[in-house]
Structure 1
Amino acid sequence: MTKLSVNINKIATLRNSRGGNVPNVVQFAKDVQRFGSEGVTIHPRPDERHIRYQDARDLKPVVYTEYNIEGNPIKSFMDLVLEVKPTQVTLVPDAEDAITSNAGWDTLKHKDFLVDVIKEFQQNGIRTSIFVDPILKQVEGAKATGTDRVELYTEAFAHEYALGNEEGVRPYIESAKLANELELGLNAGHDLSLDNIEFFKKNIPGLLEVSIGHALVAESLYLGVENVIQMYLRKLKAHP
């Protein structure tokens, strides 16, 4: 079954825009799990413009589902992850000034670097995942790094699906099949929403986990957080 991990970065963005501690990031993490989320995802960046490094520490005692920390494995990020020891670390090659993640790893060019980083995390009992574009050679390259999973970067799918082009899912199907053949665990994330998640899920074999934040929080403004989480779970469970 595909697990839903809720990315709570946008809650931290809202908190930081006003100062203080409203909304409370830790309480929100507790609530999304109580409402049915099977994981909590955060993506701290060096400037701490949304999730702060201290948030990662504060969340550790309250995340009893899967705890996923995403980010570019610079030294400060690696030190944080090794201190907190989440369930999973997702390696994302975003620049420090990036508004949001906008590309997967070149797993061929950066193989040696990724091998070293992944080995260190795995030796500390942390499952690893690499953010990749739906390109077969990049999935093959990911396998060579020793990673446990890959996370397919789904912005291109979401864009094409919104235009009515269902064939936009084709590269993801092929990448998923290859990941399954290579015995790589398969995650997905970025711009997945209530509009496209059911179609994506029913077409992608072996999908273990989706990480959804921006759309889920935006949808919750109208529909409520608990309701939206249940809507996602129903759509994910509709196609075992």
Structure 2
Amino acid sequence: MMAEATATGSTPARVTTPRRANDRDLVDSLVTVLQERINAGEIPAGSWLRQEALAKELGVSRMPVREALRELQARGSVELIANRGARVRLPSTRDIIEVYELHGLLQGHAGEAAAELITSQQLDRLAAAEELFRQSVEDLRAADDDTTTAQRHWHEANTEFHTVIIEAGGNKHLAEMYDNLHHKVPRNLTWIALGNDVRRLEKDAAEHAGILDAIGRGDPAATRALLTEHVKRASDLLVRTVDEIGQDSPPRRR
């Protein structure tokens, strides 16, 4: 069943309104807020985004909300359906394959450079993230029905781990490309694939530990190979997950 959502999270955020309702800064801030909530799964794929409800929640007029939704459509995060409104887009399997193919190339290239260029401070950050991966496994193992803590720790670890690798690689243009790719596939889809199976999460944590070891040893070739394979496995898992979600969803009205 398709959900219908505003931008609701645990604590709805109001966006500070500039002097003009259609100010570029306001639209940008709305795009950032909505994109982050989509990425985190607070607004799940398939949810309808109602302009009036969003405007009321965020404390703005409908016009900047409309512009923000158009920008999210351009990013591929939202689809605008004639006479029906805006809906958070579930990426297709082709989207995932293509996006993760690029992820693998960028991460592999950055990882190879990071193995030679990483600083001790960045290496410490990677080690802390790797520890948080292992903590998320224990959180999930101890959880009953509420996996919120495990999910939060995994998201924090995954974001930090791969961000540090990109930073350590030292290519700012590659970093910009990598950041743009994050808008294409909501990161909560990966948690949906991992968070219902402790063994999958353990394997994911072990893969990150292996990447950390290769970088710590200063082995560029091994780092590239491990990152590329890690991203490929994530892509395969996401494709299966999206196929399963698609099978459970009602057909789209044309």
Q: TM-score, normalised by structure 1?
A: 0.27
Identify which of structures 1 and 2 has the higher relative contact order when contacts are C-alpha pairs closer than 8 Å and 6+ apart: 2
From the CA coordinates, give the structure whose radius of gyration is larger: 2
Structure whose residues are more often strand by fraction: 1
Q: TM-score, normalised by structure 2?
A: 0.26
Structure whose residues are more often helix by fraction: 2
